[in-house]
Chains A and B, each alone.
Chain A
């Protein structure tokens, strides 16, 4: 019963709440994809992380307790979800009824892709990959839970920090584990090593699915594409540093999630802003750069680099300076975090 209750809470905070928040953002979009459950989940998840970033940074600065931070984000995420239910209930119902249509399009290739994705999920459940970096990232979460504070005690020893770890303080993804641990009543290490990778794996493959959907009209072609990318990932261990190795070894770590999930999704959002000339995608992109800076310090640099490369291409092709300005605005969180890093280091 207890495990069942934990799983219910995990599904609530990691799937249902992101989807509801996603619906809130896409409500005002004109895009044909606005009722796609995958895009709602992805945008919602990014917005959740994006909202969490400034709240957490302020909480660390003000030295508030983890319990207070958890209550605060619970209130914010919860309110957004309830507002979304109130204004989107009809749309949510219509989307759910579309699930049967999607199932009718299932074919052997999609089935193969699903099997391969489940295999990757199973490996996260049944096997373990020991990574020394967890001594900092995961132990920061367990230390925060044990002491009910944020970055006060060192995760290595449990003694009080003399100086804060400036490189990591601006990307407090470990605190996200801690907050989720409190919300789902699961031990932070169990959440980070078992449940979070499954949620993030779903995120990553939904990004792949959306890319595939953009490129291929037929579900058979989409299936072929997903099978190929799954196999490229499973046989992508050229070194421990490839995106594929990051994805399948240690997805719970921010840098891995950044490489495998957030950066591809940021490029997808860039692509959508150009394809559909939908300015609301810029809002998602803004939260995306916030999320990128939240999960990894490299995200502070890589997200604007990615958007910058895209913005150059966009400028050449559209010759619209207003769009360039919008891209620059989206990079503002990263620029601010970069400046903060320079100041505190």
Chain B
């Protein structure tokens, strides 16, 4: 029993939805307080049923097995809390019959929602878009650089920039895809795996790295500034092309 309750606590913590749970409870209370007809009250019953099924510690154990602990929060999506909260709140506001007073009550409610909630549009999450693709400018610059002479080059790049390069231009092939994650399901031989390890090294073994890059048919090798401090691909048959932010682009000239 303790384990089940602990699971419930964890799921709420993962979701970090204390505010949302409060909204849900307020909505339910609102629904039963408001004089509604049977047709509308059916929604309240739905929310009640849904909550019992989703938030019940006895079912939660099985839900975690099916959905996984990290995705459990998505179950809450079927409760449609924003829609129902707004409905309950609107009904409360409609009790104020005088128009001016209602407007003041609405403004007060909006201020309360704003103060108790958290603004979505912050610098933490949103940036001014500089290109219509809405991907990092760095990715666009690198992609444009490597496709200047060859429309479908093969490149090796460190870090996660590769993620964005292929959103901008999928003709570019990456020898080592960025950070292996759950969807990684493709052929990858030993030399590519070795190359991946070297690319994530702050001081890579340059002779080996450039050798592997050539073996794997890389047209370009793109490394961070700090990775080329000690040794440089130019010493092993690569030509320096350009620098974009912290990334230096080297072209394989020994085809």
A190 at the interface (CB under 8 A from B): yes
Tell me the complex Cα distance, A245–B17, Å: 12
Q: Is the CB of B113 within 8 A of A189?
A: no
Q: Is the CB of A224 within 8 A of B90?
A: yes
B32 at the interface (CB under 8 A from A): no
Q: Which residues of A contact B38 (CB under 8 A)?
A: 317
Known: A162-B186, A227-B110. A275 touches B90 (CB 8 A): no
Q: Which residues of A contact B187 (CB under 8 A)?
A: 159-162
B171-202 interface code vs A (CB 8 A; 1 in, 0 out): 11111111000111111100000000000000
Q: Is the CB of B125 within 8 A of A129?
A: yes
Task: Name the CB-closest residue of B to A136.
Answer: B183
Which applies to chain A's interface (DSSP): helix, strand, loop or mixed?
helix
Q: Which residues of A contact B104 (CB under 8 A)?
A: none
Q: Is the CB of A164 within 8 A of B185?
A: yes
Q: Which residues of B contact A264 (CB under 8 A)?
A: 80, 83
Tell me the complex Cα distance, A138–B135, Å: 11
**Which one of A15-23, A40-48, A120-128, A321-329 is at the interface?**
A120-128
Choose among B90, B119, B134 the residue that contacts A221 (Cβ–Cβ < 8 A): B90
Choose among B46, B87, B119, B162 the residue that contacts A310 (Cβ–Cβ < 8 A): B46
Tell me the complex Cα distance, A95–B67, Å: 44
Q: Which residues of B contact A187 (CB under 8 A)?
A: 132-133
Q: Which residues of B contact A127 (CB under 8 A)?
A: 121, 126-129
Q: Is the CB of A130 within 8 A of B136?
A: yes
Q: Is the CB of B132 within 8 A of A232?
A: no
Q: Is the CB of B170 within 8 A of A147?
A: yes
Q: Which residues of A contact B50 (CB under 8 A)?
A: 306, 309
Q: Is the CB of A232 within 8 A of B117?
A: yes
A61 at the interface (CB under 8 A from B): no
**Which one of A85-93, A255-263, A279-287 is at the interface?**
A255-263
Q: Which residues of B contact A145 (CB under 8 A)?
A: 170
Q: Is the CB of B120 within 8 A of A237?
A: yes
Known: A139-B170, A163-B185. A229 touches B120 (CB 8 A): no
B114 at the interface (CB under 8 A from A): yes
B73-85 interface code vs A (CB 8 A; 1 in, 0 out): 1110110111101
Known: A189-B168, A243-B82, A301-B67. A235 touches B53 (CB 8 A): no
Q: Which residues of B contact A155 (CB under 8 A)?
A: 166, 170
B25 at the interface (CB under 8 A from A): no
B241 at the interface (CB under 8 A from A): no
Q: Is the CB of A159 within 8 A of B186?
A: yes
Q: Which residues of A contact B122 (CB under 8 A)?
A: 237
Ordered by A's residue number, 28 sampled pairs between the chains whose C-beta atoms are within 8 Å are A123-B121, A130-B164, A132-B160, A134-B163, A135-B160, A135-B166, A136-B183, A142-B169, A156-B183, A157-B175, A160-B186, A161-B186, A162-B186, A162-B188, A193-B135, A208-B86, A215-B87, A224-B90, A228-B110, A233-B82, A234-B121, A235-B120, A241-B16, A241-B73, A255-B74, A298-B67, A306-B78, A313-B46
Q: Which residues of A contact B (CB under 8 A)?
A: 109, 123, 126-130, 132, 134-136, 138-139, 142-143, 145-147, 154-165, 167-168, 187, 189-190, 193-194, 208, 211-212, 215-216, 221, 224-225, 227-229, 231-239, 241-245, 248-249, 255, 258-259, 263-264, 267, 271, 274-275, 298, 301-302, 305-306, 309-310, 312-314, 316-317
